[in-house]
A and B are shown apart, each in its own frame.
Chain A
């Protein structure tokens, strides 16, 4: 059973200029413990793919399976439960709950899914360099600090599948490397599947596989993908 499976997924949007086909008959498979870097030009549909994988957006055609469960067959409540239990999401921006401080934001998803592990969260905060910021509110953080809190929140819940949309986009190179180390380390140690969107070829090279999205199809994929 794969952690994530997309089969012949298509997606288009209606816009002022007419229909925009973003994903075309796209297939992809990601196993537990594997990491895949997703690259592509701005506007190529990387975020859209991630949103479809998380069940936040519906594909027009094709099947999406997370931990063996087909998302399309689940209702809204079922998809929410699947995200809560299995998926960790890091968005490009606006990740945090503005009215909660960093500590509460970090623990939030773990609490929501009933898997709060304080020691684990403390370790993550230390690894991400957030110890001094726990009592601050998101508006008092820099963009990179906010992004690190979002990554911490995702990892604290121990999801089986991590979907991260340019998590290091706001970080300097050194910090970006450190954060990626952390994510990859967890992927391997705990058997987490990681789908990572990034613009940096250097970071992409450190993942197990690379896929390039162009004109709605994947140019190359992980071994074993159809």
Chain B
């Protein structure tokens, strides 16, 4: 009995293979986009874990000096007193074709966290000047003068070597960046204040934590993965629903012939489960390929934006596959549950032909409208009262869902109005018929709405951001040349050399600190027109630059200003070593995950003496000549000198990469929506014949009918596009004013980009046209025979 039933159920798919392909494609795409994003997230998180085991602020406590340098004498004193300290030198350098972080450690005293990296290496080579790096880093470096060995356990972008080797490479003899604690403190050890009062003990995990910093980025990806998954489920839902409608006659016959309802339901559920497993496996493969293709860009973004070392190659994790499959099964249950539920409640004698749709759908429309209103109310509530990133994404979801659910009602309204205005019988029929076929198309239209509004929203957000960012970059990067000294002695020599040759030499000094409970950096700013004239400020106090130069307060970056809720002119900020200082203003600081504060140069020097100069920004009228002179005089490699154009290009590249993934996911979502529409239209085509045949009998040609079918799809698509525009703008506003503030700490003005929207509209129309073309073409070609059959069969 089961076998016979299954065979009958499955025979439907053999007769409509296109529908089967759609169902499987929808499921596979939904799985692929979702699991692909999950794979990216998992890979990045695994990389953070490796990195934190080895790099700064990792699994062990350490000692540091505000200036970022520790005197060798202090190391010796601590060591003698029984403190289990191990010296570490960390610096940036150009090796081969890549800029890397050089990490110098003492292998004998290094904490166990460095163990996995060291186990792979032989100590002899280590002392002999060998460096160890992730295979990916080795690939980036290419040919280098330094001898390097691959080591999987070293984070990407880092070269691990003996501290003496690193000191030589950085020309930083005897320098120590921090002292790692390699074991528990013996009880006899004298306290830190007695030995080295200027050093600070940093507990493990207290510093910048990569997982925390990058959370927002991953949440962003997850949100997009979920959106794509939802759009994919729309396809599945409509394919399952249509297959159900088309098999109504079969269900009725099966039950009349004595098949128990329980068996029928079970068989249908089994059928769906088999499809889910098959499509899920397919989707996992696709998702893996997608993640592998996107990972290099994601890795670059994470490295550029957060300095997070993520390798560009993907590992396979069976747990990930299991989770992805679970998601597919759950999604299928969600998308197909309604059909099963309806079957379960269908009387045995339910009409074989789909019942008067207009009637049944009135209630459905009202229900959808109510649900949409509920989500809209939720959105208003979250906007008014919610806080935090999760509330922000909740708001986003509410806006999207409310808009999608409102689509059928609004379309129905628009079509009803057109029907009123229509003159002539064909036009009247066209609008009435469009309204009647709306219930069958509404899911696809909702998917289209989701995809289009998400596209407009994200596109507008990125474009607004980009416009703001470029203006800001031009103001921020006014120095014509930037130079990185390799050591402190070189810094002093450079300053002496440059001062008479340039219009201005602006040294860059910074210390790491904790501000308002957040990991932060404090910069020194020389009083100069470069800053006074160019730095855009948010809510500055009057006379801000003079007060800053006089040491009468601090500037904070927008991130710190928003997160800590600081009010320039009213708030005070606790600055280590200086006490509370008035906040004078905030400055935009896009792309920086950390909090930041700026002090006048004098007060900075008083608070943090002997802070090394990390960089010079140089104002000059003749940049090429100055660069040449620097190279001649100091033999500085090109990697240590950047001109303005380079710096801008670098910043822009980081920016573009940040949204590359978003853009890719955006396009995929639109493609999935177009597919949903195609699925709906092509499965609908067979049923449409019944409606079209009378018109044909009354004298319209199949060609005219096909044209009308096309026109209908385009009209509906255009209406959805018009509806999607305000929704997209609302989404952009949420992204700019809520999500960005929560995730990155900056708020941007919304700007309009009508050309972009017009282009998207054009693409959407093309997608709709492509989706509607095949069914219309088939109608035109097979026209008379197919239409005649409707009459021949009287059904």
Contact = CB atoms under 8 A, between A and B. Distances in A.
B258 A81 contact: yes
Contacts of A95: 253
A131 interface: no
Contacts of A56: 255-256, 348-349
B249 interface: yes
B689 to A, nearest CB: 11
A99 B250 contact: yes
Interface residues of A, number: 34
B8 A108 contact: yes
B698 interface: no
Nearest to A101: B11
Contacts of B792: 142-143
B354 to A, nearest CB: 12
Given A84-B257, A98-B12, A99-B16, 15 more contacts: A51-B349, A56-B255, A56-B348, A77-B260, A84-B1, A85-B258, A93-B795, A94-B353, A97-B11, A99-B11, A99-B12, A109-B258, A112-B1, A112-B257, A113-B1
A80 B250 contact: no
B257 A89 contact: yes
A123 B249 CA distance: 27
A114 B258 CA distance: 12
A91 B15 contact: no
Nearest to A89: B256
A54 interface: yes
A57 B257 contact: no
A108 B795 contact: no
A205 interface: no
A54 B789 CA distance: 32
A97 B259 contact: no
5 contacts: A76-B261, A94-B353, A97-B249, A100-B11, A143-B792
A139 interface: yes
A14 to B, nearest CB: 14
**Interface bracket on B:** 35 or more
Given A56-B349, A76-B261, A137-B15, A100 B256 contact: no
B193 interface: no
A133 interface: no
Interface in A48-94: 51, 54, 56-57, 76-77, 80-85, 87, 89, 91, 93-94
B533 interface: no
A154 to B, nearest CB: 9
Interface of B: 1, 4-5, 7-8, 11-12, 14-16, 246-247, 249-250, 252-262, 347-349, 352-353, 789, 792-795
| Chain A to chain B: the 7 pairs with minimum beta-carbon distance, closest first | A84-B258, A83-B258, A94-B352, A80-B260, A99-B11, A99-B15, A99-B12
A104 interface: yes
Nearest to B249: A94
A118 to B, nearest CB: 15
Interface of A: 51, 54, 56-57, 76-77, 80-85, 87, 89, 91, 93-100, 104, 108-109, 111-114, 137, 139, 142-143
A97 B253 contact: yes
B258 A98 contact: no
A96 B352 CA distance: 11
B15 A109 contact: no
A23 to B, nearest CB: 15
A144 to B, nearest CB: 11
Nearest to A47: B349
A89 B254 CA distance: 11
Given A81-B260, A89-B256, A108-B257, A139 B352 contact: no
A112 B347 CA distance: 21
A46 to B, nearest CB: 14
Contact of A112 (B5, B14, B249, B352): B5
Contacts of B258: 80-85, 87, 109, 112-113
Contacts of B4: 108, 111-112
B8 A97 contact: yes
A214 to B, nearest CB: 23
Residue from the set B253, B257, B353 with the largest chain A CB neighbour count within 10 Å: B257
Contacts of B15: 98-99, 137
Given A51-B349, A56-B348, A94-B253, A100 B8 contact: yes
A123 B347 CA distance: 35
Nearest to B264: A80
Contacts of A143: 792-794
Given A98-B15, A99-B12, A114 B249 contact: no
Nearest to B686: A139
A94 to B, nearest CB: 4
A73 to B, nearest CB: 16
A84 B11 contact: no
Contacts of A83: 256-258
A70 B246 CA distance: 34
Contacts of A111: 4
A77 B349 contact: no
Residue from the set B1, B12, B793 with the largest chain A CB neighbour count within 10 Å: B793
Contacts of B348: 56-57
A93 B249 CA distance: 10
B160 to A, nearest CB: 65
A176 to B, nearest CB: 17
A160 B599 CA distance: 99
Given A51-B349, A99-B12, A143-B793, A77 B261 contact: yes
B795 to A, nearest CB: 7
Contacts of B250: 97-99
A183 to B, nearest CB: 18
Contacts of A114: 1
A103 to B, nearest CB: 12
A222 to B, nearest CB: 25
B722 to A, nearest CB: 38
A72 to B, nearest CB: 15
A80 B255 contact: yes
A162 B1 CA distance: 21
Contacts of A96: 253
A115 to B, nearest CB: 11
B259 A80 contact: yes
A51 B5 CA distance: 22
A91 B260 CA distance: 19
Contacts of A89: 256-257
Contacts of B794: 143
Contacts of B793: 139, 143
Nearest to A88: B257
A67 to B, nearest CB: 13
Residue from the set A77, A80, A108, A112 with the largest chain B CB neighbour count within 10 Å: A80
B623 to A, nearest CB: 75
